[in-house]
Amino acid sequence: MSPGVQLSDRLVSCAADAAARASRYLLGLRNPEGYWWGELTADTTLESDFILLQLWLHPPVDGTWNPPTRRLVDRAVRSILSRQLPDGGFNIYPAGPAEISATVKAYFSLKLAGVPADGPALSAARERILSLGGLQAANSYVKINLSLFGLYPRENCPSIPPEMILLPGKFLYRMSSWTRAIVVPLSIVHAHNPTRPVPAGFTIEELFLPGASMGFCGGGSCVSWRSLFLAADRALKWWERYGSKRLRRRAIRACERWMLERTRHSDGLAAIYPPMMYAIMAMGLLGYGPDHPDRAEAQRQFGRLMVNDGERFFFQPCFSPVWDTAIAAFALGEAGAVPASKLASTGDWLLSKEVRRKGDWSVKRPDIEPSGWYFEFANEFYPDIDDSAMVLLALRHVRGADPRNCRASAERAVRWLLAMQGSDGGWAAFDVDNNWTPLSEVPFADHNAMLDPACPDITGRVIEALCAWGVDPASPAIRRGVDYLIRTQEQDGSWYGRWGVNYIYGTCFALRGLRSAGESDREAHILRAGEWLRSVQNADGGWGESCASYDNGCFTAAGSTASQTAWAILGLLASGDSNSLSVNNGIEYLLESQRSGGYWDEELATGTGFPKVFYLTYHLYRQSFPLLALAEFVRGWRAPSEEGV
């Protein structure tokens, strides 16, 4: 036996042992009802906005907060201050630089809560804000929020008119699902033109950079979509003063109905933090008192996002149980270390979450039977394509107590996914062909998520799921998906990752989709992708990528993480590379970094909310994806010998 074979045998044996430990640890995290639910964390902007919401709901009386609010605000202050950078700023991802909007939000909320403006924390934050362009450089949502309290000129904020819900051509549905869920309640707030009080003498004028423009960026003298939208904004400001009050009332009521309808069968509006916050504000302005059932439920659901366990205080942007459960169940199923009977309750729980009502997606696909899965515990209007594909993959291993029910559910989901393919051959997150690029030029589009176009990471996962459930790789839908992936490959051989950081994530799932579709690992696009993955490996054998990749428009290296190392290994395995030095070193990295309890630690954010704006740390990624990578590596080595027996 050659030394190389001995080395491989040792590595496979060690990987199998590590996968078994990881399986036991991951199984131990499961809720008794059958699901997994890891924490989902982000940056300080959530705690900052919480303090702003308290000012809206419970303004201090004679400068004094009521005691319950004061206690929560104090906890939020400590949470924010604990993450201040040495230069005084606040970042939007771990190890990232200070970011202007996050720092302005933190400054406002800390000063409002009573942190001294001349103390070290706010003095340093103020200097950092001014060095980054001042308050004028913050994004439009920061300015809109501040304008509600008279702290930023309303005329220098984008107009968000409720009348947009009445525009022909289903204009509202040209926006991404999360954008429309934000702007509908925010348009109600905007239309009421409130100016809520702040404590006497409170100001943030010190954050304005002298000489910097207060207006919107862009436009110029050339005719462009940007200049047209800026002209439209000026027209809207005239309309707000002199336009039809009757039409405005009609639009507000339409927005109110739209908002309330989407809180049904959902854990809050769209089940994500920003729409939930604005819905609370909107309901108050519409006359819904604190005891009104709809408002009380909205505030209850928002409160559930808070983690306040005595030691920690932070807000989660949303819950991720369906996503966490599907990935964990798939990884355990692929590892084969847990009897199927132990996972039956997981299958039943997932099947209970299948969507059976029409949601926003049906505007463009009205004749399709509802199916699919959402991300959270309940969000019936917004099943998403990525979750649906991941659940389908999990259901290959966890079919629940009634296999016929599982088969029927999977068949509905397959039909739904096929119907949600875009005209470009790819799949997006929530909608079909949500890619009218001019919308990215509207003044309030600087959250960088106005649209929901197809992306390689979701497309690859959908192809993998469809093929796993019997869709012919030669079918037109799969071939169009393959063509989309080949067409969107970057020049260096990687693929962009929209929902995970970034090119490592996109390349992993594009390659898995191409493998499932039967693409030969000798094809040039597969070879180039494998070579790219090997070229960006870190010296310690792992892989890591910074969120700065989105800002730089190219791969930007970072310290190795368990989840990104797993994605790179999975991508290489999908490319046909099972025994290169890169793969072996990557497996060694996972083995060496695994803790004795079977888990991995990870400090960096590897999930993406809005590129360049908002990032996520999925606390189960570091457990599920390394297990999946180890399991596939072991199976790839053992399968040939088992077949020989």
Domains and CATH numbers, the chain: 43-138 (no CATH), 161-202+215-315 (1.50.10.20)
Average pLDDT, 10 consecutive residues per value, the chain (645 residues): 60 96 97 97 98 95 90 97 98 97 98 96 98 96 95 92 93 95 96 90 96 69 66 79 90 97 94 97 96 97 95 96 98 92 94 97 97 97 98 94 93 98 98 91 78 97 98 98 98 98 98 98 97 98 98 97 98 96 97 97 95 96 98 84 40
Helix (H, G, I), strand (E, B) or coil at 211: coil
Q: Is 244 exposed, middle or buried (0-12, 13-18, 19+ CB in 10 A)?
A: exposed
Q: How many helices (H) and strands (E) does the chain have?
A: 23, 7
386 counts as catalytic: yes
| pLDDT at 220 (0 to 100) | 46
| pLDDT at 216 (0 to 100) | 64
Q: Mutual orientation of helices 273-285 and 245-261 as an angle, nearest 10°?
A: 130
Helix (H, G, I), strand (E, B) or coil at 67: helix
User: Global pTM?
Assistant: 0.95
Return d(Cα 612, Cα 264) in angstroms, integer. Answer: 32
Count of CB atoms situated within 10 Å of the CB of 235? 12
Chain-centroid distance of CA 329 in Å reads 21
Integer CA distances (angstroms), 21 to 27, 220, 351, 554, 603, in order: 10, 61, 28, 36, 21
**142, 146, 152, 156: CA torsion to nearest 10:** 50
| pLDDT at 619 (0 to 100) | 97
Return d(Cα 224, Cα 625) in angstroms, integer. Answer: 44
Residues 6+ apart with CB under 8 A from 343: 329, 332, 333, 397, 398
Q: Are 633 and 626 in contact (CB under 8 A)?
A: no
| pLDDT at 642 (0 to 100) | 46
Hey, which residues does 314 pair with through a beta bridge? 307
User: Which residue out of 43, 324, 386, 452 is catalytically annotated?
Assistant: 386
Return d(Cα 536, Cα 523) in angstroms, integer. Answer: 21
